[in-house]
Amino acid sequence: MALFRKRRRRGSCHAPVAEGVGGAKKVVLVGNPNVGKSVLFNALTGAYVTVSNYPGTSVEVARGAAEIAGERFEIIDTPGMYSLLPITEEERVARRILLEDAPDMVIHVVDARNLERMLAMTIQLLEAGLPVILVVNIMDEAERLGIRIDIPLLSTRLGIPVVGAAIAKKRGLSELQEIISGYRCSAYPVPEYSRRLENDIAEITALFQSRFSLSPKAVALLLLQRDEDMTARVQAREGKGFVALEAKIREKIYARRESFHLDLSLERRKIAEKLLAGVFRVPDKRKTTFGEKLSRWAVRPLTGVPLLLIVLYYGLYQFVGVFGAGTLVDLLEKRLFEGRFNPWISDIVKGAVPWPVIQELFVGEYGVITLGLRYAIGIILPIVSTFFLFFSILEDSGYFPRLALLVDRLFKKIGLSGRAVIPMVLGFGCDTMATMVTRTLETVRERIIATLLLSLAIPCSAQLGVIMALLSQSRGALLVWFICLLLIFLAVGLLAARVIPGETPMFYMELPPMRLPQLSNILTKTYSRMQWYFLEILPLFILASILLWIGKITHGFEKLSDWVQPVMAALGLPREAAVAFIFGFFRRDYGAAGLYDLQTSGLLNPRQVTVAAVTLTLFIPCIAQFLIIKKERGTWVAVAIGLFVSLLAFGSGYLLNQFLLTTGIL
């Protein structure tokens, strides 16, 4: 199969719809961020530059004039883009420039070190029928790494001018200027895909009655990828004929709904690989780096799942659970607060304030200092600090996008896609903000399922740390908790995917390289997250203590505990456990800290602590999360989720208690 087919261009390459300033030819620079576009722009234009917002957006676009071999050109520096299918506002603007400015030349700037990855966009630009010149930049760095690129051979294979350059050092600049000044284009090479894809494209293009600024093939592919902007443009041009076209597109999208994005990107990658065979040579000695191996292991189910379990065991269990929630909490909460600070401050307050009721507010059972401050600093702070440190290490290493790919297949079964890893991962930090992030998911169905699962089965960092510390003290308790949560997560997800109507989302992402986490990044991110968390929880913990104090002096709290008591009895828990659940409604982490107090007071046996941990993890979202669900998904969805989660939490707790009593496992 030929990689490219030559097509005669309709009209002239030099007859743009919108002419450049003073009739100058338009040259548009495109490419990924950080490939040297702006350096090339400055090298070509010098001081003649204007920077303004693209109409109707806040995205800045730089335009400048260049005089090459006595001819004047208008040079446009577009925002970074990864693909012709835009995701961000910047990419949308870059594509609009390509669509509406009708450039005489499109200079695609790529990084020589990542040529294979970036060539996919060259292929897209070519199939769009754009007059492309390829600049393989940062050649000096690539050569330093021992990479050799046969530029003439690449140019022959692509059928377009290709320049090897290191623009920052002016290398290749004069060659590029020569190409720009003498550029003539009469035919453009079009990449050939598999027979099935070409047939799909042909069936769609056969229905086009209008001409577009991009080639019919590129337009058809964008329509198949559900590009909203392109759909609107085609609809406007085609008028009544769009009905038949839309039906055909729907038919094709439905037939290939599971993997179209992936199939297309794999086909483009194959074309890029064939183009680069014998063109792109890496030194023989170059071995696959550990990062590359690790990256491969992380996305393959056979190695990825054990790797995930290792990460969870050492990162979450050993570091956050045992060290953070065990050693550090013991040091801060027991030795510092209970041993020294609380007795000292209690003496001072009792000496200074004669009224017992006011003493209670500050240093009583639910005192602002003895409970609120102790929970915030003594229990929650060391746990979230270790959690955020662990989180930042994983984040900086590039593990999260690999996790998204790993779980994508599983997530599809529960109505989600790998993209939902973003709110799920953020949910371990704080479920409230993660609920807000669900709005970025592709479909309404996906947003509702993700919101439900976040409310139900994703514990926040502090809750997770406390639970791991408590359950690690009894053999098998943590495993029981983990299995329960996993089963409920999957069962509810599967059920929700069947009950809630909607389309199966698609997910495809380009993997950034895996790298050794940088200490400065880790410390900065951990510090920033801790600062945010602490500033958020401290006032809320103090407020919760005040409310509990009011509840205590008015005996409302006792009545509430009495009211909850039958539920506690059904779960096999002591009456005092009601306090942790009431705390949990204020904040999940506050409830977890309450559970910690019960355990350290010796009020819970291993069975009870496991049942309480499972029920509290599944328990209704805290007030803040509930309010965000209401805002994001509406009152009815929020109420339905709240009721469902509460019933499921107590139902699961009851069943687990019965199971543990019958089997005597714990």
What is the largest distance, in Å, between two alpha-carbon atoms of the chain? Answer: 95
Report the distance separating Cα 106 and Cα 122, nearest Å: 10
Nearer to another protein, 257 or 515 (CB): 515
Rounded Cα distance, 608 and 657, in Å: 8
Residue 547 has, within 13 A of its CA and on its CB side, a CA count of 13
> DSSP class of residue 35?
S
Residue span 21-60 as binding mask against another protein, x where in contact by CB under 8 A, dash where not: ------------xx--------------------------
398 binds another protein (CB under 8 A): yes
Tokens of 569: 């009895």
Q: Which residues contact 435 (CB under 8 A, 6 or more apart)?
A: 423, 427, 451, 454, 455, 621, 625, 628, 629, 632
Closest separation in Å from C-beta 227 to another protein: 16
Question: Under a CB-based contact definition with an 8 Å cutoff, are residues 30 and 78 in contact?
Answer: yes
Residue in 529, 587, 588, 607 binding another protein, rule: CB under 8 A: 529
Stretch of 23-31, 295-303, 529-537, 604-612 lying at the interface with another protein (CB under 8 A): 529-537
DSSP β-bridge partners for residue 52? 61
User: Which range, of 119-127, 331-339, 469-477, 504-512, touches another protein by CB under 8 A?
Assistant: 504-512
Contact status: 450 vs another protein (CB under 8 A): no
Pick the closer one to another protein by CB: 91 or 127. Answer: 91
Pairwise CA distance, residues 589 & 459, whole Å: 9
Choosing from 528, 539, 558, 563, the residue that interacts with another protein (CB under 8 A) is: 528
Position among 126, 179, 363, 437 found at the interface with another protein (CB under 8 A)? 437
CA 485 to chain centre: 23
Instruction: Tell me the residue length of the chain.
Output: 666
Does residue 576 touch another protein according to CB under 8 A? no
Q: Which of 423, 504, 467 is nearest to 598 (CA)?
A: 467
Under 8 Å CB-to-CB from 265, ≥6 apart: which residues? 120, 508
Helix (H) or strand (E) holding 595: helix 588-600
Question: Which CB sits closer to another protein, 78 or 657?
Answer: 78
The rounded distance, in Å, linking the Cα atoms of 127 and 454 is 42
Q: Is 633 in the site for another protein (CB under 8 A)?
A: no
Q: How far is the CB of 88 from another protein (least distance, A)?
A: 5
Taking the complex as a whole, the smallest distance from the CB of residue 483 to another protein amounts, in Å, to: 29
- Specify the residue, 27 or 420, whose C-beta has the smaller distance to another protein: 420
Cβ 446 to another protein shortest distance, Å: 13
Contact string 228-267 vs another protein (x = CB under 8 A): ----------------------------------------
Q: Please report how close the Cβ of residue 487 comes to another protein at its closest, in angstroms.
A: 28
Would you count residue 422 as binding another protein (CB under 8 A)? yes
* Selected binder of another protein within 400, 644, 654, 659 (CB under 8 A): 400
Q: Is 631 in the site for another protein (CB under 8 A)?
A: yes
**Cβ neighbours for 355, distance < 8 A, ≥ 6 positions apart:** none
Nearer to another protein, 430 or 592 (CB): 430
Which residue among 297, 482, 527, 654 contacts another protein (CB under 8 A)?
Answer: 527
Nearest CA to 40 out of 191, 171, 168 is that of 168
Give, as one character, the DSSP assignment of residue 366. T
- Please state the closest distance from residue 85 (CB atom) to another protein, in A: 12
Q: Which residue's structure tokens are 């729907």?
A: 250
Question: How far apart, in whole angstroms, are the C-alpha atoms of residue 587 and residue 577?
Answer: 16
Binding residue (CB under 8 A) for another protein from 146, 306, 513, 539: 513
- Laid out side by side, the sheet with 49-53 consists of 49-53, 60-68, 71-77, 25-30, 105-111, 132-137, 162-164
Cβ–Cβ < 8 Å for 190, 271: no
Sign (positive or negative) of CA dihedral 128, 134, 138, 141? positive
Count CB neighbours of 636 within 10 A.
Answer: 9
Residue 634 within binding range of another protein, rule CB under 8 A: no
C-beta closer to another protein: residue 197 or 430: 430
Task: Name which of 58 and 288 has its Cβ closer to another protein.
Answer: 58
Within 75-114, which residues bind another protein (CB under 8 A)?
Answer: 87-90
Region from 119-127, 253-261, 524-532, 590-598 binding another protein, contact rule CB under 8 A: 524-532
Residue 341 in tokens: 């600070």
Query: Is residue 324 involved in binding another protein (CB under 8 A)?
Result: no
627 binds another protein (CB under 8 A): yes
Cβ closest to another protein, residue 87 vs residue 309: 87
Task: Give the shortest CB-510-to-another protein separation in angstroms.
Answer: 7
Q: Which residues bind another protein (CB under 8 A)?
A: 33-34, 87-90, 395-396, 398, 400-401, 404, 419, 422, 426, 433, 436-437, 440, 509-510, 512-513, 524-525, 527-529, 531-532, 536, 624, 627-628, 631-632
